[in-house]
Amino acid sequence: MNNTSSSLADTLERVLDKGVVIVGDIAVCVVDIELLTLRVRLFIASAQTAREMGMDWWTNDPFFTPKAVDPDIGKNELAQANADLRDRVAALERALGEERA
């Protein structure tokens, strides 16, 4: 029993240290028509190993890191830009309507 748990611990340590990538595609087809494709990419490693490989998406995700950048910052700017564009489109539509009349 001790040998098994020791080898399992060694294997887990090696996987977390080096990392493992598992890749797979699942396709759902009916009469040779592809309806759905799922691409699965699974990377298993320690946080330190992932950072060393350039994968540190969780450092800017507010769900995982309270100090991460808030995605709602700039939301008012986007809403204002959207309103400005709507006004411009409405003005262009009015100008086109006057030209046709």
What are the pLDDT tens digits along the chain (101 aa)? 566 667 888 888 887 887 887 888 888 988 888 889 988 888 888 888 888 888 877 777 777 666 555 555 556 777 888 899 999 999 999 888 877 76
Encoded amino acid at 14, one letter: R
* List of residues 6+ apart from 68 with CB closer than 8 A: 59, 60, 61, 62
Provide DSSP, 39-64. EEEEEE--HHHHHHTT--GGGG-TTT
In terms of pTM, does the model score above 0.75? no
Counting every residue written for the chain, the total comes to: 101
Q: Which helix (H) or strand (E) holds 36?
A: strand 33-44
At residue 99, φ and ψ (nearest 5 deg) are -65, -35
Strand partners, 22: 42
Q: Which residue has the tokens 């029993």?
A: 1
| C-alpha atoms less than 13 angstroms from C-alpha of 81 in its C-beta half-sphere | 5
